[in-house]
Amino acid sequence: MIERLLEGNRRYAAGRSSAANASPARRRELVAGQAPAAAVLCCSDSRVPPEIIFDCGLGELFVVRVAGNVIDPVVLDSLEYAVDHLGVQLVVVLGHNNCGAVTAACAGGHSRSPGHLADLLCLLGPAVEAADALGRPATRVDDAVAANVRMAVQKLEQHLGTASVGRGLLVVGALYDLESGVVSLL
C-alpha cells in the first residue's frame, strides 16, 4: 500500500493527478461503510491535503488532521479505531516543511500563547529539544518536524501494540515538501 500512495504522490507532484474517485456512484458505494487502505496522521495545514497529495479518492484514506500532527489521546484513539475496527494495515505520519505549529514551538510560543494553543505547542517540545541537540540552527524547524514525525511513529507503534504490528500493521513516517509536492519516507 505504501508504494501505491507514493505512486499517487509522484503523479500529483508531476501534475498528472488522476481524476480521484469522488463521483455520486462512489459516494453511494460508501454509504454502507468504509474500508480505507491506509490511515494518515497529518497537519491541519491547508497546503497539505493527504487525499490530494496521494491522489486518492473517497473512502481510500482514513485521515486524522491536527496542527503539527501532534499525538494526544483523541488522535491515538482515532488511529486505533482505524486499525482495530476498519482493518487499516498502514499508518502514515506525515509532517511537512515550514510547519507553522512547529515554527511557533521553536520560537517558544508555548510560553506566551493564549488558551489551549500552549498545550498543543508543549506537545512539540520534545521534538524541538531533539532538533536543538543536532545543533543546526539553519535547519532547526525542519529538524524538529522530522523529529516530531519519528517520535509520533514510535508512540503509535507502542500504543497500537505488538499484536497489531504482528498482524502486518506498518507505521511509517514521511515528510511532504511544500514546494515540490514530493513525499519522502523517513
Q: In whole angstroms, what is the distance from residue 68 CA to residue 100 CA?
A: 8
Residue 46 per-residue DSSP state: T
pLDDT at 114: 61
pTM of structure: 0.91
H or E stretch including 7? helix 2-13
Q: Which residue has the cell 493564549?
A: 114
The rounded distance, in Å, linking the Cα atoms of 109 and 161 is: 33
**pLDDT (0 to 100) of residue 165:** 56
Q: What is the pLDDT along the chain (186 residues), one digit of tens a residue?
A: 999 999 999 999 999 998 778 888 988 999 999 999 999 999 999 999 999 999 999 999 999 999 999 999 999 999 999 999 999 999 999 999 999 999 989 888 655 556 656 777 788 889 999 999 999 999 999 999 999 999 999 999 998 875 565 578 999 999 999 999 999 999
Count of other CB atoms within 10 angstroms of residue 103? 17
User: CA-to-CA distance for 96 and 115, rounded, in angstroms?
Assistant: 25
Spatial separation of the C-alpha atoms in residues 74 and 176, rounded to whole Å: 24
- Cβ atoms of 91 and 169 within 8 Å: the answer is yes
Q: What is the maximal distance between C-alpha atoms in the chain? A: 53
Sign of the C-alpha dihedral, residues 156, 158, 164, 170? positive
In DSSP notation, 95-130 reads EETT-HHHHHHHTTGGGT--TTHHHHHHHTHHHHHH
If you ran DSSP here, which 8-state letter would residue 137 be given? Answer: G
Model pLDDT, residue 161: 74
Q: Are 167 and 90 contacting, i.e. CB atoms less than 8 angstroms apart? A: no
Work out how many domains the chain is built from and give that number. Answer: 1
CATH number at 21 reads 3.40.1050.10
- Residue 161 domain boundaries: 2-185
